[in-house]
Structure 1
């Protein structure tokens, strides 16, 4: 797509609707004690740590069901789709039913790393039409810090009956991301050193999409792992030119922590599209240019 091409329609007309993004641990504890508790998804995952299910079994929020990021929240890796392509809808629906999700039942998702992995489940379920999905603010650490109980072992949920439909949140492909880097705002949610091209631990090439702005996901969070206050998030994203008057898209390494950035933008009042293939797909295509250094390029 030429650099002067207009911003793609998918990035501007498909608007995210996120009336609520977060649930506090106090709220969750009350909901779990109610007659109609939410589904709680434990999405523990970290780059280089394949033992999320083991961590879950060793101690989790009572009633929480484990969701596997690699096999349930993503399709198999491919050069075109990246390391975590969006799963097929029927695969996601089967997983959601295993987790106990039914129409109208709220879902609360978390991990043990500030929700940087769990946000993938938040985004994916909302993309698939589940309206009431929130992140547990502060993730599992906030639950522990509140002195709330954990249980061990594995929970098998009563199957749900949810029917999923795709496309309720916006996405962009590589061409559209390139256009947005020039005609809108494209944010790179990876660590700054990966954006600058100083290191690249997992993907084919180092660097960033030319024109993208560095906005590391970790800077959305306070020291305790909760999201920054709304005014701070608004100021942070306004400094990148990302506000509700500008088309915005986000990428990361493989479309996981970028979902966390989209949640933070939603809290700040700005809708954003996800580039699912992210840098893992972009860098696997030798025809795609890579910029380095601290400037967008």
Structure 2
């Protein structure tokens, strides 16, 4: 049995590594695979890398049929920064890419499709939310809680398409709402948590003051993070789950972290860290207006997928900070 992973970014590569390590054949597809960067995470005779575009349905369908693929982990997407630069392309990749994967799965009766989603689907409701933990089935006002970005809108659309393909056509789909993903590598793509880590750890590693003047890397209240390696573990758990009845799951640490918490995690790695805040945060994480006061409920992922986070914030900082510094110039 071969599993197709679309998107050879950090999460896709870590997922490929896990599957290959347990003896499975994996096809890792990307529109422009960064082969050297991929090799720093995943190398195995069971792993093959191919070029392919998820917006090309005929190519995708032929690949699945020709390679005997039975399961798909769909991580290919444009992130917020790229979408702001080219919104039409972002919608095409993030929405039609999902539609193509789901339609291929329907036509070829695939066993499971796992989709990478995001907790940003719930961000607009943080300002009204009252409760100890944020559930997957949260209350949503269709206008006042509309998505705060095109990226979030594409993830909302993808989740609904996945659930509809499950309900109408019997396609076994699982959507995983990753929290803010901490990662780093020397391949393309950067995340906001990676920028936070770079802003703090980069100068500290060379004895300089970490100057924070980017409103995207400091926040009021809390934010929920997740290690990219935990996302990969969740992807594998979702592939294996016998009965993922809920269909959409929060994948996070299950508790909030303040900017100070992130700073302290970096200070454990660099005890001499000095931080100079030149900007005061006015809202939540990554420029979102609402401040977050409740972490995600990750109980359903534990019950139905058998997944729990393996890496703490401190673990993530210790693992990814050196990689972040190696790929980002400072000084």
Q: Could you state the TM-score of these two structures normalised by the residue count of structure 1?
A: 0.30
More helix per residue: 1 or 2? 2
More strand per residue: 1 or 2? 2
Q: Highest Rg: 1 or 2?
A: 2
Q: Could you state the TM-score of these two structures normalised by the residue count of structure 2?
A: 0.28
